[in-house]
Amino acid sequence: MAKLNACPCGSNKPYTSCCARYIEAGQPAPAAEALMRSRYSAYTLLKEDYLLASWHPSTRPAALGLAEEAPTKWIGLEVKRHEQQDATHAIVEFVARYKVNGRAHRLHEVSRFVKEAGQWFYLDGDIQDSHPATVRR
C-alpha cells in the first residue's frame, strides 16, 4: 500500500496516527464518530474487508463489490454531528462528497451505530438527500 500522509477522513492528522489504527492495526474505534471516519477512509482505500467487519452482522451485506463498481473518487467528508444516545447507541450525521465518471455527488446520511462487546459497529442509516445515492455506505 502506498504511504499516505494526511488521513482521508479529513481529520488533518497523518493516516498512521488516525484511521490506520483501526483499518490496518485492528484497534477498536473508541467512539461511533471515529468508526464512521475510519469507514469513510476505508471506502477511499477500497478496504472492503474492514467495511464488512465494522458493519453489524444483522444488517451487513455479504459483499460490497467495490472493485467491480465504476471507480469512485472520494473528495471530502464533513461530520455534521455525533450524538451519543446511551452507552451502546450513537448517531453520526455526515456529508461525503465523491465523483463517479467525473460527475460530482454527495451522500448526506444520518447513520446509526451500536456498541457490542466493547466494539462499535455501523448498523444502518437514513439518506437525507432527495437525490438517490449511487454508492453504499
Nearest-angstrom CA–CA distance, 36 and 74: 15
- For residue 84, give the C-alpha cell: 451519543
pLDDT in tens, 37-89: 999 999 999 999 999 999 999 999 999 988 887 788 999 999 999 999 999 99
pLDDT at position 1, please?
43
Residue with cell 456498541: 115
Listed in sequence order, the residues at least 6 apart from 59 whose beta carbon sits closer than 8 Å to its beta carbon are: 123, 124
Distance of CA 130 to the CA centre of its chain: 21
pLDDT in tens, 72-131: 899 999 999 999 999 999 999 999 999 999 999 999 999 999 999 999 999 999 998 655
Flag whether the pTM goes above 0.85. Answer: yes
Nearest-angstrom CA–CA distance, 66 and 30: 26
Angle at the Cα of 32 from the Cα atoms of 27 and 37, rounded to 5 degrees: 75
List the domains of the chain with CATH numbers: 15-127 (3.10.450.50)
